[in-house]
Amino acid sequence: MHILDEIAIGAVFVLATALLHILSLVYLYFYMSKTFQKTNGEQYSAVQIVKILSIVIFFILMIHTIEAWLWACLYWFLGEFSDFGQALYFSVVTSTTLGYGDVTLSEQWQLLGSCEAMGGLIMFAVSTAFLIDVVNELFKNPLK
């Protein structure tokens, strides 16, 4: 496999997971806006804040989990791991940039792991920004 092919595959997967991530957060934004509408000056109760943050955090974790599964499917499809569990483990460790190094890709596909790590870093940054924005919105007005 030529290095340009590896970069192309990595770029396609980074872009695909980024698109999935963005679309999921946009859906979550509109769902939360519709479900937890408030008029000017209205405040969220403590129960509403806990409920909203729980939903947002769970949804964000699910988005990252799905993205890790997609990368794991790629590694498994390429024959990098005979056991899907190992492919998923590698993907989670890589996308979170934890990088234990106990499971690695073959030399032929090493650059894919770097692509996933870069994409994962960006997706976690986007998720963090989204969560911060939600928290800021929830605490704009004092609690009831």
Q: How many CA atoms lie within 13 A of 128 on its CB side?
A: 7
- How far is CA 38 from its chain centroid? 28
* pLDDT score for 123: 98
Q: What is the pTM of this model?
A: 0.90
Structure tokens belonging to residue 81: 């791991």
Domains of the chain and CATH, by start: 3-37+45-138 (1.10.287)
56-89 tens-digit pLDDT: 999 999 999 999 999 999 999 999 999 999 999 9
Distance CA 54, CA 98 (A): 24
Residue-wise pLDDT for 13-65, tens only, equals 999 999 999 999 999 999 988 888 776 667 888 898 999 999 999 999 999 99
Helix intervals (H) in 36-45 = none
Q: Are 91 and 75 in contact (CB under 8 A)?
A: yes
CA-based max dimension of the chain: 61
**Contact yes or no for 35/57 (Cβ under 8 A):** no
